[in-house]
Structure 1
């Protein structure tokens, strides 16, 4: 199963949620292979996977400095030269995460992010809009799926779970990420723009024909027989909790986000998993995210105490740590 972690709003915690959820899945299912694909040009997820803010940044920069970058952007460079057929080099882009970060188990793999995705977006659009071959749009939108499928086959397709960290903008490379996803996880923050973002997801991915007719993303996918993903869950991320429940202010905003998602479900039940989306409350991670990201350390391995983050030593307290762990464990438990 391929999970895309996406919403049409920035700053909602997509990258850290991708990391914690994927690593929890890897920890609880050591018999499976976990593949993370970093489709955000900031490549924050790759930096965490490759060792954290310090070491991981150096490892990422080293990969980006290679003449033939072993990153998703490097693969897309190959596909720009060969847009309508796979290259045969797909599995050479697969990274065993534990080779770079000993904090991670040996069943975790990475397709590394690359800032060049921003530059490549225009080229992707140009190639996809060509009239010949007739399926040019489909071929281009399959680039990421081709890469993931080849890597998953090498790892063992039936035993591989994929997590794709997506950029909020619905640019060309995000379209490729959506095509490669089977399920969408939509993180939200406690504000009105997150409710609008859920509505934007409906228009951008599932029903843009009212605005752009047959040229909308959903209609183009329909034209070429490409299945759209379905929405798996809506996550209210970084919530302030009181007695294990969201505070009144957060609950009020979450109710509005739920209403927006449920109205969407009533209009288009086929856009969701059977029975509609799972709604999750993810507590504010406080210092946990800073420590985990800086050290490249999965949530399950973090214990209460002090950690060094550059020149300071933040304290991880048991109560917020356990609360966040319980929420991640609960979310991982409902993955299909």
Structure 2
């Protein structure tokens, strides 16, 4: 199964949700090979996986300076030279994360991110837009799918979590084509509510203006017989909680998000793979838990109660915060 973590809105915690969900999934499924795929040019999740702030950045630089680069950008370099057939080198780009970050379980792997995705996006668009061969658009948009399918073929126990950039750029289109299901983190604001409608339009072509309908992503995917993923989960992220429920202010905004999703489900139920009563869940504000996780590259089950020193400052991990966060992600992983 391949999960894309995406929302058209930035700042909703996609990279953090990707990391924690993948790590918890790996812990609960030690027989699975869990692959984190970084499709964001900022490569934030790669830095966390590779050891956290500082160490992770240094390890990522090592991958970016290798020849060829051992990143998603390195693979796309090969595909730009050979856009219409696989290279045969696909599985050489998967890295065992434990070799870089011993805090992680040995069944966690990484396809590292690369800032070059921004530059490569123009080449992707140009090659995909060629009239010959006639399946250029499909061939190019299957680049990531080809990579992940090759890994799945070699390791039949693989599960993928794809961290996506907010922009619906060419590399995000490739991530969506590669995915089976979408996890849509949201925060308590109007932009997250509008983002639900944006997902309907950008991915599934719902309410696309007539002038653009024939060239929309969904229409091109349909014409090229490429399946689109389903919306599987909408975590309501960073909710301030009172008596273990989202506060009234946050709940009001989350109601707006739920209403948008409900309206979309009423008219387009086929694009969802979860029942309405299992689509949403609250993720409490992690506060210091998220700081420690990101800085040290620690999964939830490796975080201990007590004090951590982050950039020469003491950070306390309280029991209640850690317990709530573990319970929330246990629920999320249980629904995958």
Question: Do the structures match in fold with TM over 0.5?
Answer: yes
Residues 19-44 of structure 1 deviation map (CA, whole Å, 9 limit, x = unaligned) = 00000000011011101100010001
- In 1, the alpha carbon distance for the partners of 2:41 and 2:107 equals 25
Shift in Å, 1:160: 1.4
Residue 280 of structure 1 corresponds to 281
Most deviating of 41-50 and 270-279? 270-279
Alignment of 1:140-179 (within 5 A): 140-156=140-156, 159-179=157-177
Residues 53-110 of structure 1 deviation map (CA, whole Å, 9 limit, x = unaligned) = 1111100011111231010001001100000000001111010010111111111110
Paired positions, count: 333
| Structure 2: unaligned runs, 5 residues or longer | none
Alignment of 1:177-326 (within 5 A): 177-207=175-205, 210-211=208-209, 212-276=212-276, 278-326=279-327
- In 1, the alpha carbon distance for the partners of 2:335 and 2:108 equals 20
Say if 2:233 and 2:274, in contact at 8 Å, map to a contact too: no
Say if 2:182 and 2:233, in contact at 8 Å, map to a contact too: yes
- In 2, the alpha carbon distance for the partners of 1:43 and 1:194 equals 22
- In 2, the alpha carbon distance for the partners of 1:18 and 1:260 equals 23
Residue 39 of structure 1 corresponds to 39
- In 2, the alpha carbon distance for the partners of 1:49 and 1:255 equals 33
State the secondary structure of the residue aligned to 1:308: strand
Residue 10 of structure 2 corresponds to 10
Shift in Å, 1:142: 0.3
- In 2, the alpha carbon distance for the partners of 1:89 and 1:328 equals 35
State the secondary structure of the residue aligned to 1:294: helix
Shift in Å, 1:310: 1.9
Say if 2:205 and 2:213, in contact at 8 Å, map to a contact too: no
Shift in Å, 1:209: 7.0
- In 2, the alpha carbon distance for the partners of 1:313 and 1:114 equals 32
Using structure 2 for the length normalisation, give the TM-score: 0.97
Say if 1:2 and 1:162, in contact at 8 Å, map to a contact too: yes
- In 1, the alpha carbon distance for the partners of 2:90 and 2:238 equals 36
Say if 2:307 and 2:316, in contact at 8 Å, map to a contact too: yes
State the secondary structure of the residue aligned to 2:234: strand
Say if 1:235 and 1:282, in contact at 8 Å, map to a contact too: yes
State the secondary structure of the residue aligned to 2:280: strand
Query: Aligned-pair RMSD on alpha carbons?
Result: 1.0
Shift in Å, 1:309: 1.3
- In 2, the alpha carbon distance for the partners of 1:274 and 1:184 equals 11
- In 1, the alpha carbon distance for the partners of 2:224 and 2:206 equals 16
- In 2, the alpha carbon distance for the partners of 1:167 and 1:2 equals 16
Shift in Å, 1:293: 0.8
Using structure 1 for the length normalisation, give the TM-score: 0.97
Shift in Å, 1:151: 1.5
Say if 1:194 and 1:257, in contact at 8 Å, map to a contact too: yes
Structure 2 CA distance for partners of 1:306 and 1:193, relative to 1, 3 Å: same
Shift in Å, 1:300: 1.2
Shift in Å, 1:152: 2.1
Residue 127 of structure 1 corresponds to 127
- In 1, the alpha carbon distance for the partners of 2:153 and 2:45 equals 23
Residues 270-314 of structure 1 deviation map (CA, whole Å, 9 limit, x = unaligned) = 110153461011000101111011111101111111112121120
